[in-house]
Amino acid sequence: MTSYLIRRVWQMIPTLLGVVLLIFCLFKFFGGDPAEIMGGMSATPEQIAAIRTQLGLDKPVTEQLWIFIQQIVTFDWGKSWATNEAISNLFATRLPATLTIMIPILILEVGLAIVAGLAVAYVRGSLTDRAIMVITTVALSVSFLVYIIVGQYLFGFILGWFPVQGWSNSTWVNLTTYAPLPVMLAVLVSLSPQTRLYRSFFLDEVGQDYVRTARAKGVGENTVMFKHVLRNAMIPILTNVATILPGVFIGSFLIEVFFSIPGLGREVLLAVNRSDYPVIQAVTVYLAALTMVINLLTDVLYKFVDPRVSLK
């Protein structure tokens, strides 16, 4: 296990370097000139040159790349070009709000999808199974924006159960007052595709030889589904969770904007509108690194879920 982890970490280094180089080139050669954007339409060439010097954009490309790598290694990205706020402080103050939304969404999404997928697979071929498949298909065709608009109108304005917007300094107040509505809507949106996917995972296992053998030995259907099928289906489920984690983070951007949540996602969208490259670069690099770490942890979890898996 230790040798496998060391080897995987060494493999991640060149991959991350490639991602860093790609990000640097995209922002350097394909994006607009930040000095011209910050200077505005009325800025003179002298003012644009002064802004470029202030931002360090007049230095050689190799020196800018080296500074970029140093920022990644030291976790010191300097300050935002637009607000002059330290990016480290930006992460420290905005990330808790994003996690307050992301973690409940991820737990509920995966947990409810496993229960729903297993339940539908249990009654496979029945009228209930067909009805749920029709409902999930219809739900998939509805945009997330529709869920947000209808959810805010129904639960916020008509029923008055939840506030539509707002946030506080208390994590408990946020979890019990401001987070339930956006979390509920996000889970409703993701539940349909995840239920269909997990149902297919369970049905694939139901058709395996070990299931037929267990039934031939007189093992009850409940034991077959909950002990054998569920356990063996956890590997593709873990793989799916690893792929949706970055998506949950990105999906929180839209939630934070519509519900006025002061999280990292809303800050990234503001940085995009303001061409605040340091903020965008920092989030992009860390999101890429997070994806690599999640994939590594997923591979390790395979071993715990199924001892037959060999990590080589």
For the domain spanning 92-305, the CATH number is 1.10.3720.10
Q: Could you give the CA distance from residue 170 to residue 190 in angstroms, rounded to a whole number?
A: 27
CA-to-CA separations, 184 to 109, 160, 195, 225, in angstroms, rounded: 10, 15, 16, 28
Q: Could you give the CA distance from residue 311 to residue 5 in angstroms, rounded to a whole number?
A: 9
Name the phi and psi angles at 267, rounded to 5: -65, -35
pTM above 0.75, yes or no: yes
Beta bridge partners of 79: 86
Q: Residue holding tokens 């489920």?
A: 237
At 152-204, the pLDDT tens digits run: 888 888 888 888 887 888 888 888 888 888 888 888 888 888 888 888 888 88
* pLDDT per residue rounded down to tens, the chain (312 residues): 677 677 777 777 888 888 888 887 877 776 666 666 666 667 677 777 777 777 677 777 787 788 778 878 787 777 777 777 888 888 888 888 888 888 888 888 888 888 888 888 888 778 888 888 888 888 888 777 888 888 888 888 888 888 888 788 888 888 888 888 888 888 888 888 888 888 888 888 877 777 778 778 777 777 777 777 877 788 888 888 887 777 677 667 778 888 888 888 788 888 877 777 788 888 888 888 888 888 788 777 777 766 666 666
The token pair that represents 123 in the structure block: 């009654």
Q: What is the domain partition of the chain in residue ranges? A: 16-74, 92-305
